[in-house]
Structure 1
Amino acid sequence: MNIRSIAKESGLSVATVSRVLNNESGVSDEARQKALKVIERSGYKPRNYSQRRGTRIAIVVEAGAPSFDSFYSLVFTGISRYAWECGFEATLVYYSPDHERNSGGELVDLLRKKRCNGAVLIAPISESEGQNLIDARIPSVLVAHRLSLDGIGYIDCNNFQGASDLTEYLLHLGHRKIGYLCGNLENGNNSDRLNGYLKAMESVGVEVDDGWMIEHHPTDVTEQAGYDQALFLLERYPDITAIFANNDSMAYGAVTACMETGLRVPEDISVVGYDDYLSSRYYNPSLTTMRQPLMEMGASAARWVDEKLKNKISDLPHRVFRGELIVRKSCALPRADS
């Protein structure tokens, strides 16, 4: 039996059967199942089958993002480990939504140029971009972003609840003057974290001074952003007793800023981060933070795409976890003069 015989018996075109044999996107589930049944029944294996291109999943990152920041590296690790264990290729793809729109290109075109069957998206996409992926039959899962489309999967943590829990921990210690170092608030998760902080402060009757919330100052090194924002905060509000940094990297920079201004952490000021990077346990002082299972999230996203390509699942999941408060040594009771 050859590819033409399979096409005739299954009632499909030769091109469709070829896509199925090469595990390519652009084939309906029904058509794929028809072809696979005939292939399995006949025991057909094309020549050089082992050398044919298998699954290639894109790891899509927004161009200009700090792609090898600890956040990304943990997600990458989860994806690449799963890919290695399951014998498929994962390739990094940079995507600039504004550039693609201005040039008339689309994410789908970029993935096809890279010969990718599916995608794990560590970058926000629009609803129209998501619909294009669905129409092109490219299974795609968002990590740490969400899109309300049935054909696009996502895996995320509840950032609002996580930030609220972390702020409540500081309030429980007795802190009331808590500064907040913002991330880019155009990112919905960063906005959720700020709102979680505000909600927790409001719940105990603390009136937050607008000056306690320091807007994001992007830098090439995320630690530098935390350092700059913390210095700005401490210069204007020296009576602050705790700092909530939007992520662990910014918290590292904030700790350095505190020490350079003569404040001991945690004796004079407490500092918390978010995400629980691998280095946070070994930082001095070890960092109190909110853990997101980033490595596991990356692996799950890759697995869902892989299983969708293999028709092991019919729908890509939508899953949201609650973060885990990790208490370490960067926090203490407010200093006596506060």
Structure 2
Amino acid sequence: MKSRSTSGRITLRDLATHLGLSKTTVSVVMSGSKAAEAIPEKTRRRIERAAEKLGYRAHYMARSLRKSESMSVGIIVPEFSDGYFTLLMAGIEEFLISAGYFYFTVSHYWKPDLQQQYPAMLEERGVDGLLMVNTDPPQSHLPMVSISGHHKRGAPTTVMLDHEHAAHLLIEHLHGLGHRRIAFVHGQSWSQDTQLRRKAFVTAMQQFGLKIIPELQVTLDATTWTPDLGYAPATELLKKTRDFTALVCFNDTAAMGAIRAARDAGLRVPEDISVTGFDNIAHASFFSPSLTTVQQPLREMGKSAAQALIEHIRHPQQTQPAKLVHQPLLVARESTGHAPLTATTAKRSAK
């Protein structure tokens, strides 16, 4: 073939010249237009084989404009970590790849300006929809689905965990082991799950006749996703009081830091104090002691969110469910055990 663009890339004109066909005929076939049905199948196959042999690729933006879709979506997350977000993304990616969708992923690190800018930037790049992970939904006309979004406006569908059942499972487990004075490390103020999960634990404690004790409540404020997240709050709590036998942490990463804080304070886990996490991230079972936690089916949540978004994109006139609720599972491991005879058993001074 003699004709080729100066960039070396095979163009539509090059392909048409090589085949001895009109540019219009080749364009109709390569664009996937319904008009291609009027072209003989033998000719269509000839064009497709030549395109594959010569390495022709239809111009992405031009094809998108013709089809009124880009076959791509935007995914907005706070950040990536070893646990929660990577497990969600595994499910999201699995479904999008199987559905033939490309995706852009951006992390806003809880910066308000980026949370406002990224949806617009993704829309400018022609995405067909947005998937918001633990992020407030923007004002946008695009199809949208949220994961762990507890908001009153925005996304037509929210994929979430049954937090009430999750809290009940954890408190039931600790209550059954004899724990009555339970401390909590609650999530950060900006986390979408914090308030809902806190409320769920209050309800669960009441169901078992237990009191929420103000001095046994601390709140995470760091943005790190290393065990440092829970180390400092747990250390401060143990400096103020040791009059509790169990510590429930907002997530597994915080629980790992809290266990180290307890050990540094001279306490044994679980002999002196039981510690629980939340999420069941990949290395929770390999930590020492292995972590008792609530398993969020994060991979399945990611898949269902991606599926819901693609359904919304493909069928915009259909009514979408407001919520897709997934059920938790208690995973009991080594970090919890029977409560000491009295809470004061856990008051041994660090030496």
- The one-letter code sitting in structure 1 at the alignment partner of 2:134 is A
TM-score normalised by structure 2 residue count? 0.73
Give the secondary-structure state (helix, strand or coil) at the position aligned to 1:332.
Answer: coil
Q: How far apart in 1 are the matches of 2:112 and 2:221?
A: 21
Match for residue 111 of structure 1? 122
Match for residue 191 of structure 1? 195
Match for residue 315 of structure 1? 319
| Cα distance, 1:307 vs structure 2 | 3.1
Judged with a 3 Å threshold, the aligned counterparts in structure 2 of structure 1 residues 93 and 221 are, in CA distance, closer, same or farther, namely: closer
- The one-letter code sitting in structure 2 at the alignment partner of 1:252 is M
Q: Please, what is the CA RMSD of the aligned residues? A: 3.0
Asked whether the equivalents of residues 250 and 277 of structure 2 are also in contact (C-alpha less than 8 Å), the reply is yes
Give the % identical residues.
25
| Cα distance, 1:237 vs structure 2 | 1.5
- The one-letter code sitting in structure 2 at the alignment partner of 1:193 is R
Select 1:55's aligned residue among 63, 71, 83. Answer: 71
Judged with a 3 Å threshold, the aligned counterparts in structure 2 of structure 1 residues 108 and 332 are, in CA distance, closer, same or farther, namely: closer
Q: How far apart in 1 are the matches of 2:291 and 2:129?
A: 36
Q: How far apart in 2 are the matches of 1:219 and 1:302?
A: 26
Judged with a 3 Å threshold, the aligned counterparts in structure 2 of structure 1 residues 151 and 280 are, in CA distance, closer, same or farther, namely: closer
Unaligned runs of 5+ in 1: 1-17, 23-35
Give the secondary-structure state (helix, strand or coil) at the position aligned to 1:281.
Answer: coil
| Cα distance, 1:294 vs structure 2 | 0.8
TM-score normalised by structure 1 residue count? 0.76
Alignment of 1:272-311 (within 5 A): 272-311=276-315
Judged with a 3 Å threshold, the aligned counterparts in structure 2 of structure 1 residues 110 and 168 are, in CA distance, closer, same or farther, namely: same
Select 1:329's aligned residue among 331, 334, 341. Answer: 334
Judged with a 3 Å threshold, the aligned counterparts in structure 2 of structure 1 residues 43 and 299 are, in CA distance, closer, same or farther, namely: farther
Judged with a 3 Å threshold, the aligned counterparts in structure 2 of structure 1 residues 74 and 322 are, in CA distance, closer, same or farther, namely: same
| Cα distance, 1:71 vs structure 2 | 0.9
Task: Please list the CA deviations of residues 144-166 of structure 1 after superposition, one character each: whole Å capped at 9, or x if unmatched.
Answer: 11445696222101223312321
Q: How far apart in 2 are the matches of 1:94 and 1:283?
A: 28
Select 1:204's aligned residue among 208, 212, 235. Answer: 208
Asked whether the equivalents of residues 307 and 313 of structure 1 are also in contact (C-alpha less than 8 Å), the reply is no
Give the secondary-structure state (helix, strand or coil) at the position aligned to 1:279.
Answer: coil
Match for residue 175 of structure 2? 171
| Cα distance, 1:336 vs structure 2 | 3.0
Select 1:230's aligned residue among 228, 234, 252. Answer: 234
Match for residue 98 of structure 1? 112
Aligned residues: 292
Q: How far apart in 1 are the matches of 2:272 and 2:114?
A: 49
Q: How far apart in 1 are the matches of 2:319 and 2:295?
A: 28
Match for residue 147 of structure 2? 143
Q: How far apart in 1 are the matches of 2:36 and 2:309?
A: 22
Match for residue 182 of structure 1? 186
Unaligned runs of 5+ in 2: 1-27, 65-69, 344-351
| Cα distance, 1:250 vs structure 2 | 0.4
| Cα distance, 1:276 vs structure 2 | 1.0
Judged with a 3 Å threshold, the aligned counterparts in structure 2 of structure 1 residues 82 and 262 are, in CA distance, closer, same or farther, namely: same
Q: How far apart in 2 are the matches of 1:233 and 1:66?
A: 27
**Highest Rg: 1 or 2?**
2
| Cα distance, 1:198 vs structure 2 | 1.9
- The one-letter code sitting in structure 1 at the alignment partner of 2:298 is L
